[in-house]
Structure 1
């Protein structure tokens, strides 16, 4: 069965460049924001917050069931419903980079300890 492009998983990546001493507070703020997004928007699948070894970059990874679900959450930033811009100012991010990606292929370790491949197409 062929899935339409709207039914594929959707991933948003937001990368922050910051001073290393600001990393713990930014990670905590992103954790709280991600919990709100998961609670307030349907279609949330998973998230992770990752930090570079040098402490200068933080990556917020958000995965949604559909593009529409991810875009609805992002629109809440634009409308000011989530204080995303305040978060950027408060943690004095030097740069913030946004990226969005359609999931085409994923791999996961299953409960049987076998590698499972999900082709989306």
Structure 2
């Protein structure tokens, strides 16, 4: 693996379509699950849980150092180790959409308030 490839992070996006009364409970469950991932899986970088204003969608964003780290964690989800499918059933998700993305560019503000853009080809 080249140095270029090693610096690309991997992002998993999971979008849930739910009834509005399920949103807060799903957000809490995903936040707890993300914390378990942070503690239990190598290669974890960050996570966020976002909710739509209409209450019908929740987006779980998981960022990993490598594609392999993200895929290994997701395989454990599928095997029931993290009760991912139970989470879907418990919150009566109508639709769950999965997406995987390789980070190609990132923009961040540094400690001196300057913006830095990293293009990864």
TM-score (normalizing by structure 2): 0.95
1:47–1:87 Cα change, 3 Å: same
Task: Name the CA distance, whole Å, in 2 between partners of 1:51 and 1:20.
Answer: 10
**3-state SS of 2:49 partner:** strand
Task: Name the CA distance, whole Å, in 2 between partners of 1:29 and 1:113.
Answer: 34
Task: Name the CA distance, whole Å, in 1 between partners of 2:43 and 2:13.
Answer: 16
1:67-104 per-residue CA deviation (whole Å, 9 max, x = no partner) reads 01100110111111110000000000000000000001
For residue 118 of structure 1, what is the aligned residue in structure 2? 118
1:88 to 2:85 alignment: no
For residue 30 of structure 1, what is the aligned residue in structure 2? 30
TM-score (normalizing by structure 1): 0.95
Give how far 1:19 is off. Answer: 0.4
Instruction: Provide structure 2 residue ranges, at least 5 long, that are not aligned to the other structure.
Output: none
Instruction: Provide structure 1 residue ranges, at least 5 long, that are not aligned to the other structure.
Output: none
Displaced runs of 4+ in structure 1, greater than 2 A?
A: none
Task: Name the CA distance, whole Å, in 1 between partners of 2:54 and 2:36.
Answer: 28
